[in-house]
Amino acid sequence: MTENRHRQEQHSLSMMYGTYADILFVLFPFLIIAMQRLWDGNLYDTLMQPDLSIAAVILAGLAMGKFVLGLVTNQDLGRYKERIVFFIALTLFLVLGPAIILLLSMTSDAEIPRFVAFVQPVLLIIAISLYTTAVSIANILTRTSVNGQAERDLQHPYSDSTAQRGLVDQPPLDLPRRTGRDGY
């Protein structure tokens, strides 16, 4: 029991590192732009440019992809369908829509209101939160799907899926040895 819990904790930790690595890779170009603006003495301009909205749109799109992935992973998980659709709608409503509107408004020639300097970082934080939630949900649904398959495999211990995941100890494949007659 503790080995299984330890394995689940290690898997969750690995997923967390992977999730934040994705976020860091998305934010890396925007960090470079912000550092260049800081070097030039124009850090406030970063908050008044559409960069953070672009990053929020990218992360919101990735989150929606993860939510959809969790939705289509296994047909047996239909009971979670409404929750996943809710998170997709939430991502559209809270991040994607406002970030695209800000992006389009900021690229026009109109004067940019000062509240944008506050709204853009908030949108980015919400996008990061929704992306980590999406990865967690997809991970839980996938793990639930795998655990459900593992339970079915215990009833049929020598099925192909148990052998592929290493749930049953089997001897290594015994291949015939080559003889000198083959010409090799």
**Threshold 0.85, pTM exceeds:** no
Q: Would you say 12 and 135 are in contact if contact means Cβ atoms under 8 Å apart?
A: no
Range of the domain at 121: 2-167
Q: Is 155 domain-assigned? A: yes
How confident is the model at residue 139, as a pLDDT?
Answer: 76
Residue 3 has a pLDDT of 82
pLDDT tens, 2-42?
788 888 788 778 888 888 999 999 999 999 998 998 899 88
Output the pLDDT for position 47. Answer: 85
Structure tokens belonging to residue 95: 């991040």
| Regions in the chain scoring below 50 on pLDDT | 150-154, 156-159, 161-163
Domain assignment present for residue 172? The answer is: no
Query: Tell me, what's the pLDDT at 151?
Result: 47
Q: Report angle CA 64, 128, 132 to the nearest 5 degrees.
A: 65
Give one word for 183, left, alpha or beta, with left for phi > 0 and alpha for psi -120 to 50.
left
Indicate whether 120 belongs to any domain: yes
**What's the total number of domains in the chain?**
1
Q: Integer distance in angstroms from the first to the last C-alpha of the chain?
A: 50
Sign of CA dihedral 58, 59, 64, 67: positive
pLDDT of residue 82: 82
Domain membership flag for residue 178? no
Asked whether residue 173 is assigned to any structural domain, the reply reads no
Q: Rounded CA gap, 20 and 130, in Å?
A: 12
Residue 77 lies in a domain: yes
